[in-house]
A and B are shown apart, each in its own frame.
Chain A
């Protein structure tokens, strides 16, 4: 069997990845304690990103991650103020404090709560909007029929029929072209 040709990654993406890794390396080098704090504090986000979230645009990870980061930031600031770049003692203090872990993880939990609550609200909103749109569209159609008579409806369906015929003709023409080429 012939192998499927693999798609080459776009050049722009490759450059982005390289740049991200370079920046990550620099950050790890200059702020290792902050990185460790974030890795521990943002564990729910990492789980969401690598395990749960299968969407290409990573909405779940973003929702959890933004709030999780907000939960971690006060401790990162504390680390910068009271410790140093290489001061792991303060890091251990923060990480071993259940309250700080609770704060960091509960902000992530808020993200998850938002994620679970929003779709039903959006569904209800969509349902109401659909009904309103449907009513508005039907009212406009009735208005058109009232002003222009039933012929406006027949004209529209005839136009649709013609387009359908055009489509069938196009398909037929393409098929006959293909046969001729074959």
Chain B
């Protein structure tokens, strides 16, 4: 396919065979898909596109013989129950299998699997993808082991939050949501942009407050250096006020005594 042997073979035929036109078209499209490197594309995708009845070859679920999308999540739930040391939920084979068998994809989930800019995005994208499959199933079932594993894998994402209390609150809510076995609930706790933005805004305010206090401390140190001059200046002001108050009292007393004695 890669070197165009099929095209050559097609061109070499003495006459066009109608029954093979669809096959040629599929093979030509597959050749184009093979050149793509993103998750859900490439040679793995071609394998599942050209062999719809082939079981998923991903090392993660190969032993469970997953032949359609409905049997994927039960297999992953069993995987989560057996193995604690799962580092990723979706590899290239699984991504290609899902892309070939699941029609409810929006595209962004697969794209985010390859995202290198944000270290938390690939794991979030994987769980978003599995959550989509769970919610689109004809009968929505909770997968408790998978939920717990997903919650465990999502634990590092709490580092996105700056506030310690928010981190603790989110981590605890993630554990609870994971235990329900509904990945969408877990995502609503973890992937809540309103909380992320609110945390970021409050963090910026905390930074500004910290900076303001630092400046005030600097001012205090500077004032300490000029304490003699400041206390002289302030002392003169205070003594002037004290003197004014004492004078007012004295004047009132003098006027009162004068009027009382003169009467």
Q: Binding site of B, secondary structure by majority: helix, strand, loop or mixed? A: helix
Q: Given that A126-B227, A156-B210 are contacting pairs, would A67 and B238 also be in contact in the complex, using a CB cutoff of 8 Å?
A: no
List chain B residues, Cβ under 8 A from A146.
164
B97-123 vs A, CB cutoff 8 Å, 1 = contact: the mask equals 000000000000000000000000000
A126-161 vs B, CB cutoff 8 Å, 1 = contact: the mask equals 110010011001101100111111011101100110
List chain A residues, Cβ under 8 A from B235.
115, 118-123
A146-181 vs B, CB cutoff 8 Å, 1 = contact: the mask equals 111101110110011000000000000000000000
List chain B residues, Cβ under 8 A from A148.
162-164, 203, 206-207
A70 in the interface (beta carbon within 8 A)? yes
Q: Are A119 and B211 in contact (CB under 8 A)?
A: no
A44 in the interface (beta carbon within 8 A)? no
CA gap between A126 and B233 in the complex, in Å: 12
Q: Binding site of A, secondary structure by majority: helix, strand, loop or mixed? A: helix
Q: Given that A66-B243, A134-B220 are contacting pairs, would A126 and B234 also be in contact in the complex, using a CB cutoff of 8 Å?
A: yes
List chain A residues, Cβ under 8 A from B247.
66-67, 69-70
A23 in the interface (beta carbon within 8 A)? no
CA gap between A81 and B258 in the complex, in Å: 10
B221-245 vs A, CB cutoff 8 Å, 1 = contact: the mask equals 0011001101110111111101110
A14-29 residues with Cβ-Cβ distance < 8 A to B are: none
List chain A residues, Cβ under 8 A from B32.
none
- Of B207, B230, B242, which one neighbours A118 at CB under 8 angstroms? B242
List chain B residues, Cβ under 8 A from A140.
209, 213
Q: Are A62 and B207 in contact (CB under 8 A)?
A: no
Question: What is the minimal beta-carbon distance from A166 to any residue of chain B, in angstroms?
Answer: 14
Q: Are A66 and B246 in contact (CB under 8 A)?
A: yes
List chain A residues, Cβ under 8 A from B16.
none
CA gap between A29 and B208 in the complex, in Å: 65
Question: What is the minimal beta-carbon distance from B98 to any residue of chain A, in angstroms?
Answer: 37
CA gap between A18 and B71 in the complex, in Å: 103
Question: What is the minimal beta-carbon distance from B59 to any residue of chain A, in angstroms?
Answer: 38
List chain B residues, Cβ under 8 A from A69.
247
B254 in the interface (beta carbon within 8 A)? yes
B50 in the interface (beta carbon within 8 A)? no
Q: Given that A118-B238, A130-B220, A130-B224 are contacting pairs, would A152 and B243 also be in contact in the complex, using a CB cutoff of 8 Å?
A: no
Q: Given that A62-B243, A118-B235, A118-B242 are contacting pairs, would A155 and B227 also be in contact in the complex, using a CB cutoff of 8 Å?
A: no
Closest to A155 in B: B207
A30 in the interface (beta carbon within 8 A)? no
A41 in the interface (beta carbon within 8 A)? no
CA gap between A70 and B244 in the complex, in Å: 10
B110-154 vs A, CB cutoff 8 Å, 1 = contact: the mask equals 000000000000000000000000000000000000000000000
Q: Given that A77-B254, A81-B262, A122-B238 are contacting pairs, would A66 and B163 also be in contact in the complex, using a CB cutoff of 8 Å?
A: no
B195 in the interface (beta carbon within 8 A)? no
CA gap between A77 and B258 in the complex, in Å: 8
**A contact set with B: CB distance below 8 Å:** 55, 59-60, 62-64, 66-67, 69-70, 73-74, 77, 81, 110-111, 114-115, 117-123, 126-127, 130, 133-134, 137-138, 140-141, 144-149, 151-153, 155-156, 159-160
**B contact set with A: CB distance below 8 Å:** 162-165, 203-204, 206-211, 213-214, 216-217, 220, 223-224, 227-228, 230-232, 234-240, 242-244, 246-247, 250-251, 254, 258, 262
A-B contact pairs, 9 of them (CB 8 A): A118-B235, A119-B235, A122-B235, A122-B238, A123-B228, A123-B235, A133-B216, A144-B213, A152-B203
Given contacts A123-B235, A144-B210, A146-B164, 19 further A-B pairs with CB under 8 A are: A62-B244, A63-B242, A64-B243, A66-B240, A66-B243, A66-B247, A69-B247, A118-B236, A119-B234, A119-B235, A126-B230, A126-B234, A140-B213, A141-B210, A145-B210, A148-B206, A152-B162, A153-B210, A156-B214
